[in-house]
Amino acid sequence: MLLEGRNAIVSGGSQGIGTATSLELAREGANVCVLYRKHEDEAKQVVDEIKAMGRKAIHLACDISSFKDAERVVKDTLAAFGRIDILVNNAGMNWDGVCWKMTEEQWDRVIEVNLKGYFNFVRQVAPLFKDQKYGKIINITSINGIRGKFGQSNYSAAKAGIIGYTKALAKELGPFGVNVVAIAPGLIETAMMSQNESRDKIIDMAMNEMALKRIGLPEDVATVIAFFASDKARHITGEVVKVDGGQYI
């Protein structure tokens, strides 16, 4: 197993990519703190599945845009596991609108969650990783942070910011043995997507862009995250890795 004895925090761990990642890290031997904001029952189910694998797991409520919440979560995770080795910044949101109609609230909230939320957690774990001279930070961005997307200027800006943030962190933390990478998924089939009334239209548009002509699943992203959380990727840092089936080449 790639992650035997490691301890991880996964934000947005109660759904979609976060759930698949939490379970994949556990399969590879890690203990996992599963963070959620609304979906407590789902988070509990993920924790139960992880414990059934023989790993330790906890679930904690958290608004990632709150610096104090991030501080509390890291403290509670340390109390439960004794050490933190892996941070997966995954939680996020979108609140779409064209730029000439977007409200200040729409802009601020998406930036606050999708960009500041990542800072909040990195700020808590960076001193730990620096002192122990070991750590893995995996930031989930998006292909739309690379190319931009119509109607998502706030989301695209936040996801582009994550890419710049990842590269800066890699330079700052690299001398202390800490790897930092960004994963940029394309369209991924999640429960949220399946409930979207425009699902078929969105999938048709994405399929026209994709070289592989298949829609990605959360597990397709999770296995890549697990690799970068492991020492198999010890000589890779500061990179942005697309997991998009060739949607954006």
Over 70: is that where the pLDDT of 28 sits? Answer: yes
101 occurs within a structural domain: yes
In the predicted model, what is the mean pLDDT of residues 67-91?
98
Burial class (CB in 10 A: 0-12, 13-18, 19+), 68: exposed
As a whole number of angstroms, the distance between CA 165 and CA 117 comes to: 12
pLDDT 10s digits, 110-141? 999 999 999 999 999 999 999 999 999 999 99
Residue 198 has what pLDDT?
77
Assess if residue 204 is contained within a domain.
Answer: no
Predicted pLDDT at 192: 67
Flag whether pLDDT at 172 surpasses 70: yes
Please write the tens of the pLDDT for every residue from 154-170: 999 999 999 999 999 99
The answer to whether residue 100 sits within a structural domain is yes
pLDDT tens for 175-216 read: 999 999 999 999 999 876 766 777 888 899 999 999 999 999
Angle, to 10 degrees, between the axis of helix 16-27 and the axis of helix 218-228? 50
The three-state secondary structure class of 92 is: coil
Q: Which residue has the tokens 């960076």?
A: 126
Is residue 131, in this structure, part of any structural domain at all?
yes
Any domain includes 248: no
The structure tokens listed for 110 are 């998406």
- Told to judge if 155 belongs to the known catalytic residues of this protein, a careful annotator would answer yes
Is residue 211 in some structural domain?
A: no
Chain centroid to CA 88: 5
2 found inside a domain: no
Domain count, the chain: 1
Q: 91: domain CATH number?
A: 3.40.50.720
Q: Which of 36, 134, 155, 165 is catalytic?
A: 155
Residues with Cβ within 8 Å of 93's Cβ and at least 6 positions away in sequence, in order, are 109, 110, 113, 114
Structural domain span for residue 79? 7-190+217-242
Domain membership flag for residue 47: yes
Count CB neighbours of 81 within 10 A: 20
Mean pLDDT of the chain: 96
Q: Compute CA distances 69 → 56, 121, 182, whole Å.
A: 22, 9, 23
213: left (phi over 0), alpha (psi -120 to 50) or beta: left
207-244 pLDDT tens trace: 999 999 999 999 999 999 999 999 999 999 999 999 99
**What pLDDT score does 178 carry?**
98
